Structure 1
Amino acid sequence: MPAVPILRWLPAYQRSDLGADTIAGLTTAVMLIPQAMGYAMLAGLPPIHGLYAALAPLLVYAALGTSRHLAVGPVAMDSILVAAGVGAIATVGTETYVVIAAALGVMVGVVQAGLGFLRAGFLVNFLSRPVVSGFTSAAALIIAGSQLGHLLGVELPRTHHVHLVVWKSLEQLATWSWPTIAVGVTSVAALLILRAKWPRFPGALFVVAVATLAVWGLGLGEAGVAIVGAVPAGLPGMQVPKIDPVLLADLLPLAATIALVSFMEAISVGRVFATVHRYDILPNRELIALGFANVAGGFTGGYPIAGGFSRTAVNVRAGARTQLAAIVTAGVVIVTLLVFTGAFYYLPNAALSAVIIAAVLGLIDIRGAMEIFRVKREDFALLVLTFVATLSLGIQYGILVGIGASVLLFLVRTTRPHFAVLGRIPESQTYLNIARHPHAKQAPGIVLVRIDAQFYFGNVSFLKETVRGVIADAESPVRYIVLEAAGVNQLDSAAAATLAELNDELASVGIKLVLTRVKGPVRDVLHRTGLLEKLAAEGRIFMSTHRAMEVLRSGAALPDLSPPADDPRAPSDRVGCGMLNQD
């Protein structure tokens, strides 16, 4: 595959796809333009910078991205993160704020591209589904709350505390702008109805156009309805954002957070449609593509971008087949910047806020939360923790709390893995968990146990204590502990040493440790410690659990499975007369 994806698909482009890609690009542009302006306002930027962020990044991603359908550009999540982070160090509406937001886009791009070149796409796996669900639901509420002031026509504090925003708005009840409320509420209602009844209809563009005409025709601007005002015409120039190096260091944690969150959003969306259309998304190349797209956006007056689900879905429904559709979309943005910016003068801020609110309401994942609650309560607790942390601490720290809790839960699960005592199902060679299958029978004097996890330094103590516990709970004196190791894929040096210690400890009280179904990588580690040869010499390693139980129940002498001293086979092949060579 060529290093630059466009060099692969463009020479092989089918002319029959041109019509579908053109229609899809035009359709997506109709949705993108009002959304981009609204999301820029959400980020604390003039609406025109949303269009800047919807130009160069689209062209760069079209050349470098591995998704045929992903529609990149401004998204709600990145926008609110920009507002929260940049708003803490600069005043909204100032040139400094705009420059810092652009510099942040470049930093996000550098982080993403760097991770891509380091092949660190696996990092997105730490954003588990419960974390993502809790985070996006809380973020949706914060985003909707941040737009309440524009809907009511009042100044409200920029905060992630939704209850505080609501309270402050009620305190200003006497100053509410009822014409603004009429425009905003009507716009939200119209968007929701259009999306429910006619999902393919360009509702956002229609509502924005009607609201603009209403403000112009009815003179609502003079009645207190805030409007966008003059929007500069022309294409953005290339410029490196210049900010204090100390400030760059302060922005790095925010840039890393946005880089991870936006990559997670883009790769999740891309994989959905790649699966449907049967092609592969390459995570590391996606990181590089998004990284260069963000750098391009920052150099042209934009701010951090990602792949949006709603626009990608529209792109796919409209028939997009390649990233040529994105190039068409960028072309429409260029024409808009050159010709139609004057049409935005009477565009009410309340209508743009309505576009944002209608878009983010779909992020509240109630159905997903209910499914997680039904499937795994621990995961639901993680979802709730992330949701509460995001609402109470803010979006940037909420996602970090969620990731930290997810990693902690993973560590807890691996340090206390599933451990089962097995019994034989009558008239069969099957051995199952006696806690789940009470009719499974245990052999007197033999305890068969199974551990379902990698065995490493973090869970060695748990294994030893559990084995001691099952011996103490046994109904008859124990002569053998049989460890079925089929579920053990990895073994580190600490775990190997612990097995040797456990073998000696059991031997001191007259109990023999027997291993069955040991996998090749685990067997290799045991060989290097000498324990494998020791157990094999005493016939205490079996490939078949049933065979081991039959031999132990019969009371026959255990077979010596160690090879002759002059056996020429490789170390990992020698033990067990060849029958242990299977992986």
Structure 2
Amino acid sequence: MNRLTGLVNFDWMHAATAASLRSDVLAGLTGAAIVLPQAVAFAAIAGLPPEYGLYTAMVPPVVAGLFGSSLVMVSGPTTAISAVVFSALAGQMEPGSPEFVQGAILLAMMVGVIQLFFALARAGRLAGFVSHSVMIGFTAAAALLIAVSQMGGALGLPKSQAHGIIDRLLAVFGRLGEANMIAMLSALVTLITVIVFRRYLPRWPGFLIAIAAGTVVVQLFGGAAGDLAFVGSLPSAYPVFSLPSLDAGNWTEMLESAFAISLIGLLEAIAIGRSMAHKTRTDFDANQEVLGQGLSNVAGSLFQCYPASGSFTRSGVNLESGATSPIAAIAAAVFLVVLVALFRPFVSLVPIAAIAGLILYVAYKLIDLAEIRHLLETSRTESVIAGLTFFVGLTVNLELAIYVGVLVSLAVFLNKSANPVLAIGAPDTSGGHRTIRNAEIFGLPECPATLILRLDGPLFFGSVDTVNARFRALARRRPEQVNLILILHGVGDVDLSGVELLEIEAERRRAAGGDLFVVCHYPPLAERLRQLGLAVIIGEDSFFMNKGAAISAAVDNIAPDTCAHCDKRVFVECAFRPDERKTLRSS
């Protein structure tokens, strides 16, 4: 428990002023107006009755705000998490049924416990190893699945039991003749209204106004709209304490889904937290945020909430509205309770078609076409990761998609770590002073007897095979370059396997009449190499802190006959060899 409490930081409370409190309260009012229709829509995406979206917008934001790290991030129901919850449970239970609801609440408990284990292990920074392209592909797949799932509602069609994007599309197209024009008009008015307000009046509660507009359209038709589906009355406006049912669903399958949801939630929350910290110029502790998210889901599961995470939309609006601390998120939850009481009779009149129109807008905004285009233009590897995640998400399920994306990302990272860059260098004096540059790229002449290599990347057990293969290939192609100057530039880590490789290379070079000269500029890395015994193994006279000393030692180690027949004079040190001075005087 001490490790958990060490992550909690309430310093923001001491910085509160009357002015900041006023800004936070006003920002909270704006946030409550936005989250009211969003929570109902997100609950529909998750296959849950609307009240559970409202509960999830009331409890988790308070806990995450108090125990998380970000000052302005707002947690609660999100599109991606809602989509995964539906995907995880729809195959086992009937969406909207009491069993389905209990399964979603139990998922929140599982997700929270898993995230707390992550917090204990201080695994927050591990999220940085997951490629951003995974979230791009995952989000695009979730957006399309969400859009397709709402087409039936927007057309006024009866609820379909189809699963998967192809089955859902076939179900919709097979019943187009049954489409309800009033439902279509309601969805269209809702969609156009939210687009107009988000584009031209972003500070207005556009989501709430759009839902109202879509509802008014239906009410104008009176009894002719009686066949449409409506949200219905809320059985309870406020969450109550209730332990999750441990008998809901298949535990094995739910644990797999819970792990995926916890990972997605943490990736979302950490990405938002870092972004908000950059904009507000405040500190952000990923591990503390992991703790806050875990506690918010555990607490939420005790008050009838389904899994929650940080919200991109509401966090952005919170910041734009002037929020300065988590008090804004807490105020938003309190105001939401008040708004639900005021608008509770109105919610029962909201047509499902209007909700579908709002969700179609949310799905559209999830797909960042500019970011996808930039990814395709700049990185083939990242594009493949995003494409694979997207494909699996559409064709299989979203949980597997996140696993596949993460595994491929880690494989790419490990592959890069196992294949450090080993570049051939040579001195370049064209700028007035000597600089070691890439000999192959700049076409620089090399010393016939000395090879210069610069290593960029870790020298550890995972990369020694690659580095050794490169050493051997160069030795076969350049047998006359018996000396090797190895510059450890950008080597982030080295272990005993790396030092053993250098020992073997030194023995091979010395057996061929040359030697190995290691250059290490970075003092902590040099100290690490000494601790591993490199200086003792190759000798202090072969271990250097600067390139000049290594080059001088390598030049002195060149056989006189080799220099006598060389006209390149690559190094200025060539003129300072005793035999070279004699040659220069005689000429």
Matched, 1:405 2:379: no
> Where in structure 1 are there 5+ consecutive unaligned residues?
559-583
1:9–1:425 Cα change, 3 Å: closer
1:424–1:357 Cα change, 3 Å: same
Matched, 1:211 2:238: no
3-state SS of 1:147 partner: helix
Aligned to 1:573: none
Q: Pick from 439, 463, 469 the counterpart of residue 467 of structure 2.
A: 463
Matched, 1:55 2:58: yes
Q: Pick from 119, 122, 129 the counterpart of residue 122 of structure 2.
A: 119
The amino acid that maps onto 2:438 is N
Identity %: 28
CA RMSD across the alignment:
2.4
**Range 525-534 or range 393-402, more displaced:** 525-534
Pairwise CA distance, 1:139: 1.5
The 1-side partners of 2:503 and 2:223 are apart by 83
1:160–1:375 Cα change, 3 Å: same
Matched, 1:28 2:31: yes
3-state SS of 1:263 partner: helix
Aligned to 2:135: 132
1:6–1:31 Cα change, 3 Å: farther
1:233–1:339 contact (8 Å) kept in structure 2: no
The 1-side partners of 2:323 and 2:26 are apart by 8
3-state SS of 1:54 partner: helix
Pairwise CA distance, 1:83: 0.2
Taking the TM superposition and a 5 Å limit, the aligned residue runs for 1:23-422 are 23-154=26-157, 155-161=159-165, 163-219=166-222, 222-244=225-247, 247-422=250-425
Q: Pick from 390, 407, 430 the counterpart of residue 435 of structure 2.
A: 430
**Range 302-311 or range 357-366, more displaced:** 357-366
2:111–2:259 contact (8 Å) kept in structure 1: yes
Q: Pick from 465, 477, 481 the counterpart of residue 480 of structure 2.
A: 477
The 1-side partners of 2:273 and 2:394 are apart by 28
Aligned to 1:552: 554
- Can you list the C-alpha shifts for 1:486-534, whole angstroms capped at 9, x where unaligned? 3323222222222222222333333322212265555456546654224
The 2-side partners of 1:53 and 1:385 are apart by 31
Taking the TM superposition and a 5 Å limit, the aligned residue runs for 1:498-577 are 498-517=501-520, 519-520=522-523, 522-524=525-527, 526-527=529-530, 530-536=533-539, 539-555=541-557
1:215–1:346 contact (8 Å) kept in structure 2: no
The amino acid that maps onto 1:34 is P
**Range 394-403 or range 478-487, more displaced:** 478-487
3-state SS of 2:442 partner: coil
Pairwise CA distance, 1:229: 1.5
1:328–1:446 Cα change, 3 Å: same
**Range 269-278 or range 23-32, more displaced:** 269-278
2:187–2:358 contact (8 Å) kept in structure 1: no
The 1-side partners of 2:75 and 2:371 are apart by 25
1:221–1:227 contact (8 Å) kept in structure 2: no
The 2-side partners of 1:276 and 1:528 are apart by 42
The 2-side partners of 1:2 and 1:9 are apart by 16
1:65–1:491 Cα change, 3 Å: closer
Aligned to 1:577: none
The amino acid that maps onto 2:285 is L
The 2-side partners of 1:313 and 1:156 are apart by 35
3-state SS of 1:353 partner: helix
The 1-side partners of 2:319 and 2:502 are apart by 55
**Range 317-326 or range 524-533, more displaced:** 524-533
Q: Pick from 18, 21, 32 the counterpart of residue 15 of structure 1.
A: 18
Question: What count of residue pairs does the alignment treat as equivalent?
Answer: 554
The amino acid that maps onto 1:273 is M
2:449–2:480 contact (8 Å) kept in structure 1: yes
The 1-side partners of 2:353 and 2:99 are apart by 25
- Can you list the C-alpha shifts for 1:53-83, whole angstroms capped at 9, x where unaligned? 1112222223222222111111101100100
1:324–1:447 Cα change, 3 Å: same
Aligned to 2:568: none
TM-score where L is the length of structure 1: 0.89
- Can you list the C-alpha shifts for 1:150-182, whole angstroms capped at 9, x where unaligned? 112223345342x44223311112222222112
1:111–1:259 contact (8 Å) kept in structure 2: yes
1:179–1:220 contact (8 Å) kept in structure 2: no
2:189–2:213 contact (8 Å) kept in structure 1: no
1:130–1:383 contact (8 Å) kept in structure 2: yes
Pairwise CA distance, 1:308: 0.8
Aligned to 2:569: none
Pairwise CA distance, 1:353: 1.8
The amino acid that maps onto 2:463 is N
3-state SS of 2:32 partner: helix
The 2-side partners of 1:484 and 1:426 are apart by 18
- Can you list the C-alpha shifts for 1:548-582, whole angstroms capped at 9, x where unaligned? 22343355799xxxxxxxxxxxxxxxxxxxxxxxx
TM-score where L is the length of structure 2: 0.89
Matched, 1:452 2:456: yes
The amino acid that maps onto 2:336 is V
Pairwise CA distance, 1:460: 1.3
